[in-house]
Each structure stands twice: as C-alpha cells, then as structure tokens.
Amino acid sequence: MLNRSGVRLSLMAEIDGMPAGFVMARVDYGEFGQTADEAVMEAIGVDPAYAGQGVGRALMSQLMGNLTVLRAGAVRSETDWNDIGLIGFLDAMEFAPAQKISLRRPV
C-alpha cells in the first residue's frame, strides 16, 4: 500500500453538526499496466435519517469538483446487480454501464 501512487479522497456531509453522509474515492492514474485518467468511487452512503434531502447529490457534486481539479477524466464504480436503489442513484448522477467486464474466479 505504501508504494502505490495516486490520491485518496474522502468527504463527509454534515447537517446541523451531525454526519449525514460520506463518499470515498481514489485516483490511481492507471491499473493493470495501463495509464488512465479514471477515478474509482469506492463507497458512498447517506444516513437514512437524511435520505431524500440532497445529501448524496451534494457529495457527488463536491467529489466531481475535486476530481476535476485532479484531472480525472471519468469516475467509475461497482455495485451489486440487485442494488436497485444505488443503481437508480448512480443513473441519476449520469453514470452508465462501462465497456469493461469484471472477471472473478474462486480460489
């Protein structure tokens, strides 16, 4: 981990001094031997007490601003196929299916 290059981002939203949500992302400038200007959003969450109040949108807006400064050309994320709520949110935030296929094999 200490030898990895790149930038890690974490943001927290507060409402009335209370944590309302968070987002975590990274910009590694490439993986699998390829250079890239792509960021990875690793996690986003909103406290259910603050759902529907624009917390997720505010976090995404700030994240996109930060990634623009870091010169990331795109951001990608992964979610479970059946996580309809998160897929709907990401769709509203203008995410679309990527051209990459993630492959996995049990050991």
DSSP secondary structure string for all residues of 65-81: HHHHHTT--EEE----T
Query: How many angstroms separate the CA atoms of 80 and 61, rounded?
Result: 23
Question: Which CATH number belongs to the domain containing residue 57 in this structure?
Answer: 3.40.630.30
In a domain, 23, yes or no: yes
Counting the structural domains of the chain, the total is 1
Q: Would residue 100 count as lying in a domain?
A: no
Residue 97 inside a domain? The answer is no
Length, in residues, of the chain: 107
pLDDT tens, residue by residue, 38-86: 899 999 999 999 999 999 999 999 999 999 998 888 999 999 889 999 9
Please check whether residue 12 lies inside any domain of the structure: yes
Structural domain includes residue 103 = no
Containing structural domain, residue 72: 7-92
pLDDT digits (tens, 9 = 90+) for 98-107: 887 777 888 8
pTM value is 0.82
For residue 2, count CB atoms less than 10 angstroms from its CB and return exposed for 0-12, middle for 13-18, buried for 19 or more.
exposed
